[in-house]
Amino acid sequence: MPHQRPPEGDWRTWVILGGRGAGKTRAGAEWVRAMVEGPTPHAPGRAMHVALVAETMDQAREVMVFGESGLMSICPPDRCPNWNATRKMLVWPNGAIAKLFSAHDPDSLRGPQFDAIWADELAKWRKAEAAWDMLQFGLRLGNDPRACVTTTPRRTQMLRDLLERHTTVMTHAPTQANRANLARSFLEEVEGHYGGTALGRQELDGELLSDVEGALWTVAELAAVQVAVPPACDRIVVAIDPPGTSHAGSDECGIVVAGVSMKGPVQDWRAVVLEDATVHAARPTVWAEAAIDAMRRHDADRLVAEVNQGGDMVEAVLRQIDPMMSYRSVHASKGKVARAEPVAALYEKGRVQHVRGLAQLEDQMTQMTTAGFVGRGSPDRVDALVWALQDLLTEPARSWHNPKIRGL
């Protein structure tokens, strides 16, 4: 598969990020084969001294060597290496050798030298930085020494730093990419239980989730508020952040659906984000139809729209689709961060939940910092989220604490 094929070009480290069962081990084993084998069983290949490194020696032996996708399983009989258990080493018919190492003991990597390295599950090595540094000092033989890293991503500084190097290339695949070789019951179980969650995005989709310094929301915080089944809602709104222009290159129109459970005092109300229906619209009628459709899907009580960019045009376009809708316009008098911070505080108080599957919205949220938005483009999804939660939680609380309104 594409993610299992070495990229072309002049690189030193190839990182294969993949979900569980995506075929990473097979890719690493096939790469080692391609490096050590020559045109005939006894002809030399590009590499003669290989390091096979896992977190522990047992994992290196049982997965990289003797696993179902390991080297002993994939090599044809006339090119199959011999296993020397005493020296923890594979020896090919052409004289190439591959020695096993444990990343748990970085000092064992001092001294040996290689022209190829296969590092498995680097993201879970406890001493990753020290072990990887020693491997780099040893990767010095031949004309073009290279390393292959196969790993399920985790939020480690070591992995992020490695991916940022100009000598690193990366391929990626989710678990579903290898579905032909996986049990259907396994896929149904893990997708049903973990699909759309932060853990599922990491372990199944093979995504590297990371936190930004000063972020108003972190990945861990958003993972903690996810629910498989949303609670019953007493009121539901659809909030939109229309783009300033409507053409092929314009920003997206943020459309977020949220509901609130109005049990107890207003300060105890709980909200849930039900859907991110954001669209990229070349014409205003496209985002208007998407917003109205979201209202109908969720039987929403109101549509809330920011009108800084479009003014009265926003309501006019929406009423072309549904003249009888309940509508409220809002105007941004503060900056995006100032508007988002009170909403982030609601999350800290445990007053907001998310249904699973809001990956793009949550990605934008983790890139909204106290210094501004650090992602690409405009945080249209976050803007729509802020307007929805303000309408459901912040505005009712403000009205309750206003003596004049409360007296009515």
Q: Give the confidence band of 307 by pLDDT, cuts at 50, 70, 90.
A: confident
* Residue-wise DSSP of 298-329: HT-SEEEEE-TTTTHHHHHHHHHH-TT--EEE
How do residues 337-362 score in pLDDT, each as one tens digit?
Answer: 999 999 999 999 999 999 998 988 99
> How many C-beta neighbours within 10 Å does residue 143 have?
6
pLDDT (mean) for 83-100 = 95
Which candidate, 359, 377, 12, 361, places its Cα nearest to that of 174? Answer: 359
Buried b (16+ CB within 10 A) or exposed e, 201-230: bbbbbbbbbbebeebbbbbebbbebbeeeb
Query: What is the percentage of the chain residues whose pLDDT exceeds 70?
Result: 95
Query: Which 8-state DSSP code applies to residue 232?
Result: P
Calpha distance 239→368 (Å, rounded): 19
On the 0-12 / 13-18 / 19+ scale of CB atoms within 10 A, 333 is exposed
Q: Give the confidence band of 212 by pLDDT, cuts at 50, 70, 90.
A: confident
Amino acid identity of residue 278, one-letter, is T
CA distances from 116 to 126, 129, 133, 219 (A): 22, 18, 15, 35
- Checking if the pLDDT of 120 tops 80, the result is yes
What's the Rg (C-alpha) of the chain?
A: 27
Are the beta carbons of 210 and 218 closer than 8 angstroms? no
pLDDT (mean) for 132-149 = 93
In degrees rounded to 5, what are phi and psi of residue 80? Answer: -75, 135
Q: What is the chain's mean pLDDT, rounded?
A: 88
- Checking if the pLDDT of 301 tops 90, the result is yes
Q: What 3 state SS string does 124-161 have?
A: HCCCHHHHHHHHHHHECCCCCCEEEEEECCCCCHHHHH
- Checking if the pLDDT of 400 tops 60, the result is no
User: Looking at per-residue confidence, does 194 or 306 come out higher?
Assistant: 306
- Residue 34's pLDDT is what? 94
- Residue 370's pLDDT is what? 87
- Residue 248's pLDDT is what? 59
Calpha distance 59→112 (Å, rounded): 20
In degrees rounded to 5, what are phi and psi of residue 299? Answer: 50, 50
pTM > 0.75: no
Q: Residues near 403 by Cβ (< 8 Å), separated by ≥ 6?
A: none
